[in-house]
Structures are given as C-alpha cells and as structure tokens.
Amino acid sequence: MTERQAVKMDYLRYKSRAHKKAGEDRVIKISHLRDNLGWAYQQVVESDQAFIIQRYKAQEVAIVPMWEWQFFKQLEAQIKAGRCPVAKEAGETCPCSLSE
C-alpha cells in the first residue's frame, strides 16, 4: 500500500467514524446502494457530505462532493512533487516524512 492510499484510507475511516458519532446516517451498504444510487447521489449533492459505502469483505469506498475530490487530487499532486501539504510557512516544521 502506498503512502497516498494509506492517507486516503485513514481519512475515510475518520469520516466514517465521525458520521457514526454524530448520529448521521451517512453509511450505506453496497447492496442497498445498487437499488438507490440516484438517491445517494442526490444526498451527497444536497448535503455536501460524503457517503461511505460498505462493501462485502472489501475496503470501504466513498462518494464525495466534487470539491472534496479536487482537494484530494491537489493534495496528491503536492505529495508526488515532494512538497509537504501541511507546512504553509517556509520556517514551519513539517510533521510528515516528506521534508526529510
């Protein structure tokens, strides 16, 4: 597993736990999604929040708003270029391993 995949997995786990703690019904089983894809899509558009999809014996995936997906793509580009996406100021220390 690459570092990028690990970061995405951690984020999706965090989102899934955060939604469950908040009592929001943002997790949907893949079998239910097959019958209700249009409804799930509309919920993501209207609420601007991700839907976590539970798959059979497989890694969870998410339907996310376009702005969030674009954010991840920009983050990915920064990481691939070797720039730390966390440290904004030149003198700021980077908590990740990219600055080593």
In a domain, 40, yes or no: yes
In a domain, 31, yes or no: yes
Rounded to the nearest angstrom, the gap between the alpha carbon of residue 48 and the centroid of all alpha carbons in its chain is 13
Higher pLDDT: 85 or 28? It is: 28
**Cα separation of 95 and 24, whole Å?**
31
Q: What is the pLDDT of residues 60-92, one digit of tens each?
A: 888 999 999 999 898 889 888 887 777 665 566
By the 8 A CB rule, do 72 and 88 touch? no
In a domain, 21, yes or no: yes
pLDDT of the residue at 13: 62
CATH for 18: 3.40.1620.10
pLDDT of the residue at 18: 52
Q: Which domain covers residue 42, as residue numbers?
A: 1-69
pLDDT of the residue at 23: 45
